[in-house]
Structure 1
Amino acid sequence: MDQLKLYFKNTFGISESDWAAFSSKLIYREFPKKTHLLVKGKVENHLSFISEGIIRLYIPNPDNDLTFGFAFKGNFVSAYDSFLTQAPCIYSMEAITETKLWRISYQDLEAVYKSTEIGNFIGRKAAEEQFLKKSQREIALLNDTAEQRYLKLFTERPELIQKIPLKYIASYIGITPQALSRIRKRIS
């Protein structure tokens, strides 16, 4: 929890009393590799902070899953649209590696919003982080070639290439594993 407290102090300037109110609602959970944190059709009830691990967001498909996001240590993760609306989610979330999360439930976060000075600010920042990830991905898909998207991933997140199966990376950048293999061969 020290990592999360430091993050909140540095990012939000959270007071000790607000931290006490917020942290009292947090639940620590560990998930083995390949664990589903959320399955399509279920409602997202948590906003989570990743203490360790990598999470994949994807649309299940009988032929090939469509990976559209990854979340890493030090970031918030949630099926945020389902979390906000409390409606069933149309995608799934899976721990790619052993994952450690600090989670807060929808109801507890609403209580923090009402009982602390900084609660709404924290919620806004989490929402902004989710929005920026989504918009950056959309722009990259519309603007960059598959090779450019791969190279960006490689330079911005080199740990991604080492810890995430290539079939997920290929899906994430919008190509087949065979096309990714050709790109990797061409740039090596």
Structure 2
Amino acid sequence: MELMHQYLRKQVDISDEDWRVFSSRFEQKIYPAKTFYLKAGETENYLSFVDRGLLRFYLEDTECNETTIGFSIQGWFMCVFSSFYTRRPSFYYGETLAETVLWRIHYDDLQEMYSRLSIVERIGRLATEQMLLWKSERELSFLTKSAEERYLDLFNKVPHLLQQVPLKYLASYIGVTPQALSRIRKRIS
């Protein structure tokens, strides 16, 4: 939990007492590699902080083709926001790509913490803004950039992700086939 505490201290001035109260509502959950964190049709009940590991979120069409829509890495808050905030079933699958350790807080506990501690409301807003900014930048990149530029953006933002994620998932994330991504990687190396 120390990584989350460090992260939050960089974002907000959280007192030791507020941290003690807030952190007491988190539970640790360890997932083996290649395990579902969430399946389509289930409701997201937790806001989680990735202490260690890597997750992939994807959609599956009627022909079982997968489209990767995002990743969560160590040191980030994450959840399927559309399900978490609406309390409706998720359209997305979430799976671990490596053994993953999460510190998670249940939706109901988070709502109580929002009411009880004003600093937690700020933390929630900042976590949501981080996720929305990432998604907004990705959306804009699909409208304004080439696949090669999207790959380079990903490389510049999270270079270690490219060593940890299989090529087919990276290709899906930037909107190309694995073969096209191989050609892009050859061209820029």
Q: TM-score w.r.t. structure 2 length? A: 0.96
Alignment partner of 2:161: what SS?
helix
SS of alignment partner, residue 113 of structure 1 = helix
Q: Aligned pair 1:46/2:46, yes or no?
A: yes
Q: Give the letter aligned to residue 14 of structure 1.
A: I
SS in 2 for 1:102: strand
Map 1:146-165 → 2, pairs under 5 A: 146-165=147-166
SS at match of 1:118: helix
Cross-structure match for 2:79: 78
Once the two structures are superposed, residues 127-169 of structure 1 have per-residue CA deviations (whole angstroms, 9 ceiling, x without a partner) of 1111111101101111110011111222222211111000000
Q: Which structure 1 residue ranges, 5 or more long, are not aligned? A: none
In 1: Cα distance, 2:57 partner to 2:183 partner = 25
Letter of the 1:148 counterpart: E
* Alignment partners' CA distance in 1, 2:110 and 2:18: 12
Q: 1:115 maps to which residue?
A: 116
Stretches of structure 2 that go unaligned for 5 or more consecutive residues are none
SS in 2 for 1:34: coil
Deviation at residue 63 of structure 1 after TM alignment: 4.0
* Other structure's SS at 1:50 match: strand
CA contact (8 A) 1:30 1:100 kept: yes
> CA offset at residue 18 of structure 1?
1.2
Structure-2 residue corresponding to 1:30: 30
User: Residues 133-144 of structure 1 correspond to what in structure 2 (within 5 A)?
Assistant: 133-144=134-145
| Aligned mates of 1:155, 1:8 — CA distance in 2 | 24
Structure 2 equivalent of residue 105 of structure 1 = 106
* Aligned equivalent of 2:60: 60
Q: Cα RMSD (Å) of the superposition?
A: 1.1
Measure the CA separation in 1 of the matches of 2:64 and 2:6.
43
Equivalenced residue count is: 188
Task: Output the TM-score relative to the length of structure 1.
Answer: 0.96
Give yes or no for contact 1:82–1:89 (8 Å, CA) kept in 2: yes
Q: Percent same amino acid among aligned pairs? A: 47
| Segment drifting more, 16-25 vs 42-51 | 16-25
